[in-house]
Chain A
């Protein structure tokens, strides 16, 4: 069973601090990794993606990938109350090895930014 694991939270972070969200995945052959943000009652919104080991920065967001440890994380700097949402980690695990294999999602981490 190919899995993506996330701590469900809630993760409570003071405004202005760094929020750190973590995700592990089971399939060592996974090639692409995505972070989505989902507000209550809304659909997931892509924040960023990462393919290569290391860090990728986009504004206040940094994605970190460590394929050897099968670990991907998302850091949110200068957290704002508007960042309060559920953050979904998604991994392309190559279910069939061809075409669009579908993403395997974690169940998400509920992040609360305290003003």
Chain B
């Protein structure tokens, strides 16, 4: 069974640009969540989607957005990039996404903003 797949793996963007990251969950998983990991803040929850609906959102500005498609694939977008957005962005999937359901991470997308 294939794991969570994220693309691109590495990218460099300039301040003010926008970026779109893609995630394909484990087959059969309908919940996709996104996390940001930085050395200073650690792993922080961005948002979660289930059946194309955002069910929860972490404490991030509106520049961070996402969506989920009918095949459960998800994208996240960051607009007007800032230097502080440089991070590892992790996508995770789970079968239902409810309390107690384990989530499995993809390999992440390393974003550098210059």
Contacts and interface: CB of A to CB of B under 8 A. Distances in A.
Interface of A: 31-32, 34, 36, 42-46, 49, 51, 88, 90, 92, 94-96, 98-108
Looking at chain B's contact residues, is the secondary structure mostly helix, strand, loop, or mixed? Answer: strand
B100 A92 contact: yes
Contact of B33 (A36, A51, A102, A104): A102
Interface of B: 31, 33, 35, 42-45, 47-48, 50, 55-56, 58, 88, 90, 94, 96-108
B42 A99 contact: no
B42 A94 contact: no
Given A99-B97, A100-B94, A102-B56, A108 B105 contact: no
B105 A100 contact: no
Contacts of A99: 48, 50, 55-56, 97-98
B48 A106 contact: no
A95 B46 CA distance: 12
B108 A101 contact: no
A43 B107 CA distance: 5
B58 A102 contact: yes
Contacts of A105: 35, 42-44
A102 B44 CA distance: 9
A94 B104 contact: no
A89 B97 CA distance: 18
A107 B44 CA distance: 10
